[in-house]
Amino acid sequence: MPAQFTHTRVVQFADTDVAGIVHFANFYRWMEEAEHAYLRSLGFSVMQKQPDGTVIGFPRVQASCRFKAPAFFEDELQVDVNVVRRGVKSLTFSFEFRRGETCLATGEMKTVCCLCQPGGKLQSIEIPPRYCERLVEATP
């Protein structure tokens, strides 16, 4: 699996203000959307149900985004996703939002692998080997 994954989306009218400029909070939603698409491309889900009824999930513990240029209604955006760090229990993703060659924003999100028990109790766990086999860390 390549170290970088690219997710493409088109800016919808509901993502913008009356001037047609994307509201900043959407970049956080799109980071999550691109992360989900990346995990699906590896054959996983952000919430992977287990035979015993528990779920392996990746709750966010940190997220940031730096904005460089606005995005507009009907822009086609490419969101590049990289795993920049794979710890024992955590993953850190980087994101770059582009419109063609123009970088619009960069972001980072850290998640922790957890076992989700019925009733909502979370327990951090080591990332299972089947994930580690497919998750490729980007080289600096």
The pTM for the full model equals 0.91
Which CATH code fits 4-132? 3.10.129.10
Lowest mean pLDDT among 53-57, 119-123, 126-130: 119-123
Determine the residue type at 135.
L
Residue 138: predicted pLDDT: 57
Lowest mean pLDDT among 66-70, 118-122, 134-138: 134-138
Domain ranges of the chain: 4-132
Q: Is the pLDDT of residue 140 over 60?
A: no
User: For the chain, what is the largest distance between any 2 Cα atoms, rounded to a whole number of angstroms?
Assistant: 50
Query: How many Å apart are CA 36 and CA 16, to the nearest integer?
Result: 22
Instruction: Write out pLDDT tens, residues 15-58.
Output: 999 999 999 999 999 999 999 999 999 999 889 899 988 999 99
